[in-house]
Amino acid sequence: MKYKVEDLRVFAESLFLASGLEADKSKAVSDILIEGDLLGHTTHGLGLLAPYLTELASGKMSKNGLPEVLSDFPAAMVWDGKRLPGPWLVLRAMEVAIERAKQQGTCTVVIKRSHHIACLAAYHQRATQQGMLIALHCSDPNSSSVAPFGGLDPVFTPNPVSFGMPSSKQPIMVDVSTSATTNGMTNRLFNEKKLLPAAWVMDGHGKASADPAVLFAEPKGTILPLGGMDSGHKGYGLSLMVEAMTGGLAGHGRADPLEGWGATVFLQIIDPQAFAGLKAFERQMDHVMARCKSSKPAQQGETVRLPGERGLQHQALSQQQGLQLYPSIMPALSAWAEKLQVSLPQAV
């Protein structure tokens, strides 16, 4: 079923408010979750709302307070997120980083002990609309499901990397995991007794598989690094890069005691005006984008898309015609709506 975007926004915000989350945090988290679904990331949109409410109810996600600034240089900061809602922390860090980047060309904020930050692509347009580049990466030191290339024992989470780049036309938005798939996708397909599109996981004996059930069998399997069985050394290297930029720079990560579902975050904003200028940047990117779009399609009837293009099309269509939620989302939220005495949104 489809719902008006604003109705879903009000519904999500009302659930957070009823759970005791402060108003500014309720709005920030709701906005980012909605944006995730608008861009088509159904495992990292409102599908996270029920788990977030569970974390709030248990006290594992902090309901109020501010991050602690641990280190503050003009172009570099480290925050202790104190397990506050991840989307609120990232949006707050973006405000600071964008303002400082306008003054000095760039600013990086690293956040330790954040809660989960949802869909990384959901933040990109807030930077690109101001002519800024954004790099946003994260890891979760509290869990592991991805083995290093050549190994069987998990060390990493899927460790997403993301970049948002402006142009004179549409932003380029890259949001990919350093593993072949994500925990959210494997969990969903396992619960639905479905297979992955390809052999993106490995069983506990080192054999590649498309069945997410191998992750829950004994001996437990793992998610393969990006590149799979033949070139997974590439994803392995990228995972280590993210660990360095998050846990390494934060001084807090896998070497520390577990605290529960969360994130260590690397955010960097770059202002092209401090380099060759925004117009020069857009000229170069527009040319490369045009070359990509005009490349002869490898498959008849298909076209070459830019990263984020399909999501932007989905966003525009959903704003006009209503947002189609993944079938399992609203049933999971109905119980919370009843518990917190919040009215369910009406389908379009």
All domains in the chain, ordered by first residue: 2-177+236-277+321-340 (3.30.1370.60), 181-223 (3.30.60.50)
Rg, Å, the chain Cα set: 20
* Residues 226, 238: Cα–Cα separation, whole Å: 9
6-25: average pLDDT: 98
Say yes or no to pLDDT of 1 above 90.
no
| pLDDT, tens digit (0-9, with 9 covering 90-100), for 55-107 | 999 999 999 999 999 999 999 999 999 999 999 999 999 999 999 999 999 99
Q: Both tokens of residue 46? A: 């409102």
What is residue 343's predicted lDDT score, i.e. its pLDDT? 97
330-344: average pLDDT: 97
AA identity, residue 313: Q
| pLDDT, tens digit (0-9, with 9 covering 90-100), for 257-278 | 999 999 999 999 999 999 999 9
* Residue 234 CA, distance from chain mean position: 20
What is residue 258's predicted lDDT score, i.e. its pLDDT? 95
What is residue 173's predicted lDDT score, i.e. its pLDDT? 98
**Residues comprising the chain, all counted:** 348
Confidence (pTM): 0.96
| pLDDT, tens digit (0-9, with 9 covering 90-100), for 225-258 | 999 999 999 999 999 999 999 999 999 999 999 9
* Residues 315, 295: Cα–Cα separation, whole Å: 25
Q: Is 108 helix (H, G, I), strand (E, B) or coil?
A: strand
Four-residue CA torsion sign, 303, 201, 138, 90:
positive
312-339: average pLDDT: 96
Task: Output phi, psi for 64, to 5 deg.
Answer: -150, 165
What is residue 89's predicted lDDT score, i.e. its pLDDT? 98
What is residue 298's predicted lDDT score, i.e. its pLDDT? 94
| pLDDT, tens digit (0-9, with 9 covering 90-100), for 162-192 | 999 999 999 999 999 999 999 999 999 999 9
What is the DSSP pairing of strand 160-165 with strand 133-139? Answer: antiparallel
The answer to whether residues 327 and 46 touch, using CB atoms and an 8 Å cutoff, is no
The answer to whether residues 146 and 179 touch, using CB atoms and an 8 Å cutoff, is yes
Q: What is the dihedral of CA 239, 244, 250, 253, to 10 degrees?
A: 50
| pLDDT, tens digit (0-9, with 9 covering 90-100), for 32-41 | 999 999 999 9
Angle CA 230–235–238, to nearest 5 = 150
What is residue 31's predicted lDDT score, i.e. its pLDDT? 98
* Residues 70, 80: Cα–Cα separation, whole Å: 7
* Residues 151, 339: Cα–Cα separation, whole Å: 45
**Which one, of 121, 153, 151, lies nearest residue 137 by Cα?**
121
The mean of the pLDDT values for the chain is 97
**Which one, of 113, 120, 143, lies nearest residue 267 by Cα?**
120
AA identity, residue 213: A
